[in-house]
Structure 1
């Protein structure tokens, strides 16, 4: 996760400083602002790809399973009782893994905090909320925001989660986050609604 988060932050900072266009990490062709991503399961990193290269990874077994195309689905769910997963934070995302494990990751001023989640508890939650059974391992997540009265539950691409972690890290000030981080988080979730 740290590698992927560092890459998102570095990529955004580099583009802001140099104003160089982003390129495909596979063939070096320029990519549009909105472009597909691959997730490298071994390195736990997101890679930018052009549309032609993304087609190479449209099937799950492509690239010997190491690289997975990140879906673009953003689905808002009704409230989900994630307390059964035992993660005591209000801004968190849950990622099922190909091996059946589930991790929870939450943003902090220092990057992402990570916890292992009881896989049986995840399965029980998926029974109560059948949409969770459709979350693509490694590349999609259940993103939850219950901070400051919010009650948002989304199935989102993993790169959205990394962007949210980078946003919190960039905007956090002092011990409580300061005056910029929570409005930025609200804007992030408003943009999810617009993009869904």
Structure 2
């Protein structure tokens, strides 16, 4: 083997692998879109929470069925307890987005993506928790009333409504998980 071959091999071995360049324009478009979506979600979630809270107060005032009162109060507590940490995370993201341009502060925008991943993870686990509570309630109602019985009082069973509810909760959990995975891929690209 000649000395030139060793030189070529040495240069090949020491050659730096080219890293992916971050597309700044694409990231700027992503964060403008994300800012609009976060603002819209904030308004939508506030409206939904206020409506559910008003419905819960109405069920308490009108002395509705106990199960309706329990579920609406549970949804109000769950909604507000999830909404408050999400709002703090969004607020930090909005402040980071306004503070500097993307090309000046790539590290801060990596923090933005980490905040986004945290929000998706929190939404996923909270939705899974609601799904588990719903399944436990449905299981208790079916055990106490039998599959064919409609039940009375706290453990009423309406299988169609429960099936739609479980399907919706499962769909939301899958969507949150996929959004989290997409954000993790963006973070991986930024870190390279």
More strand, by proportion: 1
What range is the shorter-chain TM-score in? under 0.3
* TM-score with structure 1 setting the length: 0.22
* TM-score with structure 2 setting the length: 0.22
- Greater radius of gyration (CA): 2
